[in-house]
Amino acid sequence: MAAQSPPQVACPTCRKPVLWVATEKFKPFCSERCKLIDLGDWATEAHKIPGPPVWDHENPGRPDADDGQPF
Ligand SMILES: [Zn+2]
């Protein structure tokens, strides 16, 4: 009975008001386009994160090798 209006959010990409309802498939984005734009931003950020350091097998840099263990 209570005609509650759904909550509204602002699209993170274009700031357009988006109704928080099931029919809004791309919420909190207003459209698929805005969602993809945001994801693209994330991908760009990810490229700035350096990958794991390359392990040098020739030079482990660990003097306490397992060879010394009386196991
Ligand atoms: Zn938008």
52 is in an annotated binding site: no
The superfamily in CATH containing domain 8-45 is: Erythroid Transcription Factor GATA-1, subunit A (3.30.50.10)
Residue 51 alpha carbon to ligand 1 centre in Å: 32
Whole-prediction pTM: 0.54
Q: Which residues pair with 18 in a beta bridge?
A: 9
Residues, the chain: 71
Which of 23-29's residues contact partners 24+ apart within 8 Å by CB, and which partners? Answer: none
pLDDT of residue 41: 79
pLDDT of residue 61: 67
Question: Is residue 32 within 8 Å of residue 9, measured between CB atoms?
Answer: no
58 is in an annotated binding site: no
Q: Residue type at 51?
A: G
Q: What is the mean pLDDT of each run of 10 residues along the chain (71 residues)?
A: 84 95 94 93 69 70 65 67
pLDDT of residue 63: 64
pLDDT of residue 46: 65
Residue 42 alpha carbon to ligand 1 centre in Å: 16
pLDDT of residue 43: 74
Nearest to 18 by CA among 6, 9, 7, 5: 9
Question: Is residue 18 within 8 Å of residue 8, measured between CB atoms?
Answer: yes
